[in-house]
């Protein structure tokens, strides 16, 4: 009951601080295209777009790699290496996010500048989506760092839901003459579909709300990105970088950002829990 009270207080605190801003700016807070801290206007559209974009990039990288890793951990890696491999992936989850930010700042930025950005720009001939100046700090880099951070979540959850796929189904597939890859892609993955969606949604929830690592590598520049090389700022990173200097109306606007972030992540997480629960219970 005490805890229930804490939650009520929690939601109330955010609503309470955000209320003046909500009242004053209304829907402009969500749809406004320009965010200028200190003086306003406070339009969170660029932040929302950057948040969704970095999460999308992270998922595009982490979902294929994560699913392949989960399958590899369950079926492909030699038995005696499995425990060690699982522990290594879990180690990725134990690293604090500020350390990922540090690593992105000092290791990935030089690599992006020297190797990845010119390579990507070369593919499209410096046209969209790989156009514009290559500064290292970018939504692309934030997406890459996020993809590494959500990988353990996706691997661990999808491994759990895939492991409850009945052995009968797998053996049935193999006995019909299907090859191993055919069984994995046409039997195992489809029957674990719901749970995998849940794992992806959990990963997305984590990427949407990640703060410090993103704040360190995205360039903290609230603008609607014109390419993947643009700097940006997400909902969470903006709260982190601007809260310290926030005065008057900015504080309220930041609380409104917190409210948006809370609604988005709570919805995504609730959906994710529903999916994984159903997947694990149905077996």
**Which residues between 40 and 99 bind another protein (CB under 8 A)?**
64-66, 68-69, 71-73, 76-77, 85, 88-89, 91-92, 94-99
In contact, 261 and 233? CB cutoff 8 Å: no
Backbone dihedral region of 193: left (phi > 0), alpha (psi from -120 to 50 degrees) or beta? alpha
116 makes contact with another protein (CB under 8 A): no
Candidate list 2, 39, 123, 167; residue touching another protein; CB under 8 A? 2
Using the rule CB under 8 A, give the single segment among 37-45, 114-122, 128-136, 253-261 that binds another protein.
253-261
CB of 190 or CB of 226, closer to another protein: 190
126: Cβ–Cβ under 8 A, 6 or more apart, which residues? none
Q: Could you give the string, one character per residue 224-243, with x where binding to another protein holds by CB under 8 A and - elsewhere?
A: ------------x--xx--x
CB of 56 or CB of 174, closer to another protein: 174
Which residues from 117-156 bind another protein, rule CB under 8 A?
148, 151, 155
CB of 55 or CB of 227, closer to another protein: 55
In contact, 239 and 211? CB cutoff 8 Å: yes
In contact, 93 and 152? CB cutoff 8 Å: yes
> Which of 157, 162, 163, 124 has the alpha carbon at shortest distance from 140?
124
CB of 86 or CB of 126, closer to another protein: 86
Candidate list 37, 165, 206, 230; residue touching another protein; CB under 8 A? 206
67: Cβ–Cβ under 8 A, 6 or more apart, which residues? 154, 158, 189, 196
CB of 117 or CB of 206, closer to another protein: 206
Q: How many CB atoms within 10 Å of residue 222?
A: 24
Using the rule CB under 8 A, give the single segment among 118-126, 132-140, 200-208, 224-232 that binds another protein.
200-208
Cα distance between residue 269 and residue 257, in whole Å: 18
């Amino acid at each position: 009951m005490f805890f229930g009270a804490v939650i009520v207080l929690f939601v109330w605190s955010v609503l309470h601080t955000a209320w003046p801003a909500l009242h004053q700016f209304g829907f402009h807070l969500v749809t406004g295209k320009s965010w200028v801290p200190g003086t306003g206007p406070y339009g969170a559209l660029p932040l929302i777009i950057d948040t969704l974009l970095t999460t999308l990039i992270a998922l595009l990288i982490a979902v294929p790699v994560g699913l392949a890793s989960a399958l590899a951990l369950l079926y492909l890696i030699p038995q005696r290496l499995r425990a060690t491999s699982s522990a290594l992936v879990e180690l990725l989850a134990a690293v604090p996010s500020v350390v990922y930010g540090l690593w992105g700042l000092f290791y990935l930025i030089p690599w992006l500048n020297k190797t990845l950005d010119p390579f990507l720009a070369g593919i499209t001939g410096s046209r969209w989506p790989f156009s514009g100046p290559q500064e290292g700090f970018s939504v692309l880099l934030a997406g890459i760092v996020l993809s590494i951070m959500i990988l353990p979540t996706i691997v661990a959850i999808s491994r759990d839901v895939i492991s409850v796929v009945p052995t009968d189904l797998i053996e049935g597939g193999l006995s019909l003459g299907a090859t191993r890859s055919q069984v994995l892609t046409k039997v195992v993955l489809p029957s674990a579909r719901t749970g995998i969606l849940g794992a992806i949604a959990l990963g997305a929830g984590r990427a949407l709300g990640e703060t410090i690592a993103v704040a360190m590598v995205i360039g903290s520049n609230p603008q609607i990105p014109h390419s993947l090389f643009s700097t940006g700022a997400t909902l969470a990173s903006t709260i982190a970088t601007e809260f310290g200097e926030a005065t008057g109306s900015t504080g309220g606007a930041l609380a409104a950002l917190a409210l948006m972030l809370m609604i988005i992540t709570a919805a995504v997480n609730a959906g994710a829990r529903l999916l994984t629960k159903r997947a694990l219970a149905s077996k």
